[in-house]
A and B are shown apart, each in its own frame.
Chain A
Amino acid sequence: MPGVSDRKFAESIAPAAVSCLSPWQQLLIWLNIGIQSFGGGAATLYLIRRAAVEQHGWLTDEEFTRYWGICQISPGINLVGLSILIGWRVARWLGVALALAGLLVPSAAITVALTAGYASVEQVPVVRAALRGMAPATVGLGLMLAYTMARPLLAAGWREGRASLATAWALLIGSALATAFTPVPVLAVLWGGGALAALAHWQLAIRQRRAS
Protein backbone atom coordinates (compact mmCIF):
# COMPACT_ATOMS: atom_id res chain seq x y z
CA MET A 1 0.00 0.00 0.00
CA PRO A 2 1.58 3.27 -1.05
CA GLY A 3 0.59 5.56 1.82
CA VAL A 4 1.53 3.32 4.72
CA SER A 5 5.31 3.25 4.49
CA ASP A 6 5.46 7.02 3.95
CA ARG A 7 3.43 7.50 7.10
CA LYS A 8 5.58 5.10 9.08
CA PHE A 9 8.74 6.85 7.98
CA ALA A 10 7.43 10.30 8.75
CA GLU A 11 6.31 9.28 12.20
CA SER A 12 9.52 7.48 12.99
CA ILE A 13 11.60 10.57 12.46
CA ALA A 14 9.11 12.90 14.11
CA PRO A 15 9.78 12.46 17.85
CA ALA A 16 13.30 13.82 17.73
CA ALA A 17 12.09 16.97 16.06
CA VAL A 18 9.42 18.02 18.51
CA SER A 19 10.65 17.33 22.04
CA CYS A 20 12.45 20.62 22.36
CA LEU A 21 10.01 21.86 24.97
CA SER A 22 10.86 21.25 28.62
CA PRO A 23 8.56 19.02 30.66
CA TRP A 24 7.32 22.05 32.60
CA GLN A 25 6.41 23.84 29.40
CA GLN A 26 4.54 20.83 28.13
CA LEU A 27 2.69 20.45 31.41
CA LEU A 28 1.68 24.09 31.32
CA ILE A 29 0.33 23.71 27.82
CA TRP A 30 -1.80 20.76 28.82
CA LEU A 31 -2.95 22.43 32.04
CA ASN A 32 -4.05 25.37 29.97
CA ILE A 33 -6.18 23.11 27.84
CA GLY A 34 -7.60 21.19 30.77
CA ILE A 35 -8.73 24.24 32.67
CA GLN A 36 -10.13 26.26 29.80
CA SER A 37 -12.26 23.63 28.17
CA PHE A 38 -15.68 24.36 29.56
CA GLY A 39 -18.57 23.00 27.64
CA GLY A 40 -17.49 19.46 26.91
CA GLY A 41 -15.72 17.72 24.12
CA ALA A 42 -15.88 20.27 21.34
CA ALA A 43 -14.11 22.95 23.36
CA THR A 44 -11.40 20.55 24.50
CA LEU A 45 -10.86 19.23 21.00
CA TYR A 46 -10.57 22.75 19.67
CA LEU A 47 -8.05 23.73 22.33
CA ILE A 48 -5.94 20.61 21.77
CA ARG A 49 -5.91 21.18 18.06
CA ARG A 50 -4.98 24.81 18.44
CA ALA A 51 -2.08 23.99 20.74
CA ALA A 52 -0.80 20.88 18.99
CA VAL A 53 -1.16 21.87 15.35
CA GLU A 54 -1.22 25.65 15.19
CA GLN A 55 0.74 26.96 18.12
CA HIS A 56 3.46 24.37 18.69
CA GLY A 57 3.60 22.42 15.45
CA TRP A 58 3.61 19.06 17.18
CA LEU A 59 1.74 17.48 14.31
CA THR A 60 0.21 18.36 10.99
CA ASP A 61 -3.49 18.83 10.37
CA GLU A 62 -3.65 15.54 8.51
CA GLU A 63 -1.96 13.67 11.34
CA PHE A 64 -4.32 15.28 13.83
CA THR A 65 -7.34 14.09 11.90
CA ARG A 66 -5.90 10.61 11.61
CA TYR A 67 -5.14 10.48 15.34
CA TRP A 68 -8.69 11.60 16.05
CA GLY A 69 -10.02 8.78 13.91
CA ILE A 70 -7.89 6.23 15.74
CA CYS A 71 -9.21 7.51 19.06
CA GLN A 72 -12.76 6.96 17.89
CA ILE A 73 -12.18 3.26 17.54
CA SER A 74 -9.93 2.82 20.56
CA PRO A 75 -11.21 2.09 24.06
CA GLY A 76 -12.07 4.97 26.34
CA ILE A 77 -12.62 8.66 26.09
CA ASN A 78 -11.52 9.96 22.69
CA LEU A 79 -9.95 13.14 24.01
CA VAL A 80 -7.89 11.23 26.56
CA GLY A 81 -6.68 8.91 23.83
CA LEU A 82 -5.85 11.85 21.61
CA SER A 83 -3.82 13.46 24.39
CA ILE A 84 -1.96 10.21 24.88
CA LEU A 85 -1.12 9.93 21.20
CA ILE A 86 0.09 13.51 21.01
CA GLY A 87 1.95 13.25 24.33
CA TRP A 88 3.68 10.12 23.10
CA ARG A 89 4.61 11.83 19.86
CA VAL A 90 6.16 14.77 21.67
CA ALA A 91 8.04 13.00 24.46
CA ARG A 92 7.13 9.30 24.68
CA TRP A 93 6.00 8.15 28.12
CA LEU A 94 6.92 11.41 29.81
CA GLY A 95 4.86 13.25 27.25
CA VAL A 96 1.92 10.92 27.93
CA ALA A 97 2.19 11.47 31.68
CA LEU A 98 2.35 15.25 31.28
CA ALA A 99 -0.58 15.32 28.87
CA LEU A 100 -2.77 13.22 31.16
CA ALA A 101 -1.78 15.17 34.26
CA GLY A 102 -2.46 18.53 32.68
CA LEU A 103 -5.68 17.56 30.98
CA LEU A 104 -7.27 15.49 33.70
CA VAL A 105 -6.12 16.39 37.19
CA PRO A 106 -7.51 19.92 37.50
CA SER A 107 -10.64 19.04 35.54
CA ALA A 108 -11.26 15.98 37.69
CA ALA A 109 -10.73 18.03 40.84
CA ILE A 110 -13.19 20.66 39.69
CA THR A 111 -15.67 17.94 38.77
CA VAL A 112 -15.45 16.48 42.26
CA ALA A 113 -15.78 19.94 43.80
CA LEU A 114 -18.90 20.62 41.74
CA THR A 115 -20.36 17.26 42.72
CA ALA A 116 -19.58 17.84 46.38
CA GLY A 117 -21.08 21.28 46.18
CA TYR A 118 -24.13 19.80 44.56
CA ALA A 119 -24.44 17.13 47.27
CA SER A 120 -24.57 19.75 50.00
CA VAL A 121 -27.13 21.92 48.23
CA GLU A 122 -29.25 19.21 46.66
CA GLN A 123 -31.92 19.57 49.29
CA VAL A 124 -32.32 23.31 48.82
CA PRO A 125 -35.59 23.92 46.94
CA VAL A 126 -34.09 26.33 44.42
CA VAL A 127 -31.43 23.81 43.52
CA ARG A 128 -33.97 21.02 43.20
CA ALA A 129 -36.01 23.20 40.88
CA ALA A 130 -32.96 23.99 38.79
CA LEU A 131 -32.13 20.29 38.51
CA ARG A 132 -35.68 19.46 37.48
CA GLY A 133 -35.16 21.88 34.64
CA MET A 134 -31.78 20.48 33.70
CA ALA A 135 -32.76 16.81 33.48
CA PRO A 136 -34.84 17.14 30.29
CA ALA A 137 -32.18 19.49 28.91
CA THR A 138 -29.64 16.72 29.30
CA VAL A 139 -31.97 14.49 27.31
CA GLY A 140 -32.33 17.11 24.60
CA LEU A 141 -28.57 17.56 24.34
CA GLY A 142 -28.17 13.80 24.48
CA LEU A 143 -30.48 13.42 21.50
CA MET A 144 -28.33 15.93 19.68
CA LEU A 145 -25.25 13.90 20.58
CA ALA A 146 -26.87 10.67 19.40
CA TYR A 147 -27.72 12.40 16.13
CA THR A 148 -24.14 13.62 15.59
CA MET A 149 -22.92 10.10 16.35
CA ALA A 150 -25.30 8.30 14.05
CA ARG A 151 -25.66 10.69 11.14
CA PRO A 152 -22.19 10.30 9.54
CA LEU A 153 -22.50 6.54 9.86
CA LEU A 154 -25.93 6.52 8.23
CA ALA A 155 -24.72 8.96 5.58
CA ALA A 156 -21.82 6.66 4.75
CA GLY A 157 -24.31 3.81 4.40
CA TRP A 158 -26.49 5.92 2.13
CA ARG A 159 -23.51 6.72 -0.07
CA GLU A 160 -22.66 3.07 -0.44
CA GLY A 161 -26.07 1.96 -1.58
CA ARG A 162 -29.36 0.54 -0.40
CA ALA A 163 -28.00 -2.61 1.21
CA SER A 164 -25.46 -0.71 3.24
CA LEU A 165 -28.00 1.89 4.34
CA ALA A 166 -30.54 -0.77 5.32
CA THR A 167 -27.86 -2.55 7.36
CA ALA A 168 -26.96 0.70 9.12
CA TRP A 169 -30.58 1.44 10.07
CA ALA A 170 -31.13 -2.15 11.14
CA LEU A 171 -28.10 -1.94 13.45
CA LEU A 172 -29.27 1.32 15.00
CA ILE A 173 -32.86 0.24 15.59
CA GLY A 174 -31.94 -3.35 16.37
CA SER A 175 -29.49 -2.40 19.10
CA ALA A 176 -32.07 -0.08 20.68
CA LEU A 177 -34.76 -2.77 20.62
CA ALA A 178 -32.39 -5.44 21.88
CA THR A 179 -31.36 -3.26 24.83
CA ALA A 180 -34.89 -2.20 25.68
CA PHE A 181 -36.75 -5.46 25.34
CA THR A 182 -34.35 -8.37 25.66
CA PRO A 183 -32.12 -9.43 28.54
CA VAL A 184 -29.10 -9.39 26.20
CA PRO A 185 -26.35 -7.53 28.04
CA VAL A 186 -25.17 -4.25 26.57
CA LEU A 187 -21.67 -5.54 25.92
CA ALA A 188 -23.09 -8.32 23.75
CA VAL A 189 -25.18 -5.84 21.80
CA LEU A 190 -22.13 -3.66 21.17
CA TRP A 191 -19.81 -6.46 20.14
CA GLY A 192 -22.59 -8.18 18.23
CA GLY A 193 -23.41 -5.01 16.37
CA GLY A 194 -19.76 -4.43 15.54
CA ALA A 195 -19.20 -8.02 14.39
CA LEU A 196 -22.38 -8.09 12.27
CA ALA A 197 -21.44 -4.81 10.68
CA ALA A 198 -17.89 -6.01 10.03
CA LEU A 199 -19.18 -9.10 8.25
CA ALA A 200 -21.83 -7.21 6.31
CA HIS A 201 -19.42 -4.52 5.22
CA TRP A 202 -16.84 -7.04 4.14
CA GLN A 203 -19.38 -9.00 2.13
CA LEU A 204 -20.66 -5.86 0.46
CA ALA A 205 -17.12 -4.79 -0.39
CA ILE A 206 -16.40 -8.17 -1.98
CA ARG A 207 -19.60 -8.04 -3.99
CA GLN A 208 -18.83 -4.53 -5.19
CA ARG A 209 -15.35 -5.52 -6.20
CA ARG A 210 -16.75 -8.43 -8.21
CA ALA A 211 -19.32 -6.20 -9.85
CA SER A 212 -16.78 -3.60 -11.00
Chain B
Amino acid sequence: MIDGLLLFLLMLKAALFSTSGIGNLPILHQDLLSRGWATDRNFTESLAIGQISPGPSGLWVISLGYLLDGLRGALFALIAITLPPLLVLVVHSFYRRYGDHPATQGFVRGLGLAVAGIFLVVLFGIMRDAGFNAANGLIALGALGLGATRRMPVIIVMALAAVVGIALY
Protein backbone atom coordinates (compact mmCIF):
# COMPACT_ATOMS: atom_id res chain seq x y z
CA MET B 1 0.00 0.00 0.00
CA ILE B 2 1.02 3.57 -0.46
CA ASP B 3 3.14 5.14 2.24
CA GLY B 4 2.06 8.78 2.41
CA LEU B 5 5.34 10.12 3.66
CA LEU B 6 7.38 8.17 1.13
CA LEU B 7 5.08 9.40 -1.63
CA PHE B 8 5.76 12.96 -0.49
CA LEU B 9 9.51 12.37 -0.51
CA LEU B 10 9.37 10.81 -3.97
CA MET B 11 7.41 13.77 -5.29
CA LEU B 12 9.80 16.17 -3.61
CA LYS B 13 12.78 14.39 -5.11
CA ALA B 14 11.25 14.44 -8.58
CA ALA B 15 10.46 18.13 -8.32
CA LEU B 16 13.89 18.90 -6.96
CA PHE B 17 15.64 17.25 -9.88
CA SER B 18 13.49 18.75 -12.57
CA THR B 19 13.57 22.16 -14.12
CA SER B 20 10.01 22.43 -15.32
CA GLY B 21 6.49 21.33 -14.60
CA ILE B 22 7.01 18.27 -16.75
CA GLY B 23 10.61 17.52 -15.83
CA ASN B 24 9.51 15.61 -12.77
CA LEU B 25 7.40 13.30 -14.91
CA PRO B 26 10.10 10.80 -15.96
CA ILE B 27 11.50 10.46 -12.43
CA LEU B 28 8.10 10.14 -10.79
CA HIS B 29 6.93 7.79 -13.52
CA GLN B 30 9.82 5.42 -12.91
CA ASP B 31 9.58 5.60 -9.11
CA LEU B 32 5.84 5.09 -8.87
CA LEU B 33 5.42 2.46 -11.54
CA SER B 34 8.28 0.38 -10.21
CA ARG B 35 6.59 0.28 -6.81
CA GLY B 36 3.22 -0.45 -8.34
CA TRP B 37 1.71 2.63 -6.72
CA ALA B 38 0.54 4.16 -9.97
CA THR B 39 -0.30 3.11 -13.49
CA ASP B 40 0.21 4.77 -16.86
CA ARG B 41 -3.52 5.43 -16.74
CA ASN B 42 -3.13 7.54 -13.58
CA PHE B 43 -0.47 9.60 -15.28
CA THR B 44 -2.53 10.09 -18.41
CA GLU B 45 -5.50 11.27 -16.42
CA SER B 46 -3.66 13.62 -14.10
CA LEU B 47 -1.74 15.11 -17.03
CA ALA B 48 -5.01 15.79 -18.83
CA ILE B 49 -6.49 17.43 -15.73
CA GLY B 50 -3.31 19.45 -15.29
CA GLN B 51 -3.78 20.86 -18.77
CA ILE B 52 -7.40 21.76 -18.17
CA SER B 53 -7.22 23.30 -14.73
CA PRO B 54 -6.01 26.88 -14.20
CA GLY B 55 -2.49 27.75 -13.21
CA PRO B 56 0.73 26.13 -14.38
CA SER B 57 0.25 22.76 -16.05
CA GLY B 58 2.77 21.45 -13.52
CA LEU B 59 -0.12 21.14 -11.09
CA TRP B 60 -0.85 17.77 -12.67
CA VAL B 61 1.18 16.29 -9.79
CA ILE B 62 -1.46 17.54 -7.40
CA SER B 63 -4.06 15.68 -9.40
CA LEU B 64 -1.90 12.56 -9.31
CA GLY B 65 -1.40 12.96 -5.57
CA TYR B 66 -5.13 13.10 -5.10
CA LEU B 67 -5.70 10.03 -7.28
CA LEU B 68 -3.13 8.02 -5.36
CA ASP B 69 -3.61 9.21 -1.80
CA GLY B 70 -6.64 11.46 -1.51
CA LEU B 71 -6.50 14.95 -0.02
CA ARG B 72 -3.32 14.14 1.84
CA GLY B 73 -1.64 13.14 -1.40
CA ALA B 74 -2.82 16.36 -3.03
CA LEU B 75 -1.58 18.50 -0.15
CA PHE B 76 1.77 16.72 -0.09
CA ALA B 77 2.05 17.22 -3.83
CA LEU B 78 1.37 20.94 -3.46
CA ILE B 79 4.10 21.26 -0.85
CA ALA B 80 6.43 19.08 -2.90
CA ILE B 81 6.19 21.36 -5.92
CA THR B 82 6.34 24.59 -3.93
CA LEU B 83 9.56 23.96 -2.02
CA PRO B 84 12.11 23.27 -4.79
CA PRO B 85 11.40 26.46 -6.78
CA LEU B 86 12.45 28.45 -3.71
CA LEU B 87 15.96 27.46 -4.71
CA VAL B 88 15.55 29.83 -7.64
CA LEU B 89 16.71 32.57 -5.33
CA VAL B 90 19.97 30.67 -4.84
CA VAL B 91 20.34 29.99 -8.55
CA HIS B 92 19.69 33.67 -9.20
CA SER B 93 22.78 34.72 -7.30
CA PHE B 94 24.84 31.87 -8.75
CA TYR B 95 23.78 32.80 -12.24
CA ARG B 96 24.84 36.38 -11.73
CA ARG B 97 28.38 35.14 -11.32
CA TYR B 98 28.62 32.06 -13.52
CA GLY B 99 25.81 32.32 -16.05
CA ASP B 100 28.08 33.20 -18.92
CA HIS B 101 30.44 30.27 -18.51
CA PRO B 102 30.20 27.77 -21.40
CA ALA B 103 29.96 24.83 -19.00
CA THR B 104 26.84 26.32 -17.42
CA GLN B 105 25.24 26.92 -20.78
CA GLY B 106 26.21 23.45 -21.90
CA PHE B 107 24.73 21.89 -18.78
CA VAL B 108 21.43 23.70 -19.26
CA ARG B 109 21.25 22.63 -22.87
CA GLY B 110 22.14 19.01 -22.09
CA LEU B 111 19.53 18.90 -19.36
CA GLY B 112 16.85 20.25 -21.67
CA LEU B 113 17.70 17.73 -24.38
CA ALA B 114 17.75 14.85 -21.89
CA VAL B 115 14.34 15.88 -20.53
CA ALA B 116 12.96 16.01 -24.05
CA GLY B 117 14.40 12.61 -24.91
CA ILE B 118 13.04 10.95 -21.78
CA PHE B 119 9.71 12.69 -22.23
CA LEU B 120 9.39 11.09 -25.66
CA VAL B 121 9.81 7.68 -24.07
CA VAL B 122 7.10 8.45 -21.49
CA LEU B 123 4.76 9.65 -24.24
CA PHE B 124 5.36 6.37 -26.02
CA GLY B 125 4.31 4.54 -22.86
CA ILE B 126 1.10 6.54 -22.61
CA MET B 127 0.31 5.83 -26.25
CA ARG B 128 0.98 2.15 -25.77
CA ASP B 129 -1.42 2.13 -22.82
CA ALA B 130 -4.07 3.79 -24.98
CA GLY B 131 -3.39 1.47 -27.87
CA PHE B 132 -1.56 1.84 -31.18
CA ASN B 133 -4.49 2.10 -33.54
CA ALA B 134 -5.58 4.34 -36.36
CA ALA B 135 -8.12 6.30 -34.29
CA ASN B 136 -5.59 7.16 -31.60
CA GLY B 137 -2.99 8.00 -34.20
CA LEU B 138 -5.32 10.40 -35.95
CA ILE B 139 -6.36 12.07 -32.70
CA ALA B 140 -2.75 12.45 -31.66
CA LEU B 141 -1.83 13.96 -35.00
CA GLY B 142 -4.83 16.25 -34.85
CA ALA B 143 -3.93 17.46 -31.39
CA LEU B 144 -0.33 17.95 -32.53
CA GLY B 145 -1.50 19.97 -35.51
CA LEU B 146 -3.85 22.14 -33.48
CA GLY B 147 -1.21 22.67 -30.83
CA ALA B 148 1.27 23.66 -33.51
CA THR B 149 -0.90 26.58 -34.56
CA ARG B 150 -0.34 28.04 -31.10
CA ARG B 151 -3.64 29.79 -31.41
CA MET B 152 -5.79 27.12 -29.88
CA PRO B 153 -6.02 27.05 -26.10
CA VAL B 154 -5.15 23.63 -24.74
CA ILE B 155 -8.52 23.28 -23.07
CA ILE B 156 -10.28 23.54 -26.42
CA VAL B 157 -8.08 20.85 -27.94
CA MET B 158 -8.85 18.56 -25.03
CA ALA B 159 -12.57 19.35 -25.28
CA LEU B 160 -12.53 18.46 -28.97
CA ALA B 161 -10.69 15.24 -28.20
CA ALA B 162 -13.29 14.41 -25.57
CA VAL B 163 -16.08 14.96 -28.10
CA VAL B 164 -14.31 12.74 -30.62
CA GLY B 165 -13.94 10.11 -27.95
CA ILE B 166 -17.63 10.23 -27.16
CA ALA B 167 -18.50 10.05 -30.83
CA LEU B 168 -16.26 7.08 -31.44
CA TYR B 169 -16.95 5.04 -28.37
Contact = CB atoms under 8 A, between A and B. Distances in A.
Contact of A108 (B17, B78, B117, B155): B78
Given A133-B161, A141-B147, A173-B117, A111 B96 contact: no
B169 A75 contact: no
Q: Which secondary structure dominates where chain A touches chain B? A: helix
Interface residues on B, range: 35 or more
A110 B105 CA distance: 37
B123 interface: yes
Interface in A94-147: 96, 100, 103-104, 106-108, 110-112, 114-116, 118-119, 126, 128-146
Given A77-B20, A114-B63, A84 B89 contact: yes
Given A74-B87, A111-B55, A115-B46, A139 B140 contact: yes
Nearest to A176: B117
Nearest to A83: B85
A161 interface: no
B163 interface: yes
Contact of A187 (B17, B100, B164): B17
B165 to A, nearest CB: 2
A137 to B, nearest CB: 3
Contacts of B15: 75-77
10 contacts: A72-B19, A74-B19, A111-B63, A141-B51, A154-B113, A174-B117, A186-B27, A195-B107, A197-B106, A198-B106
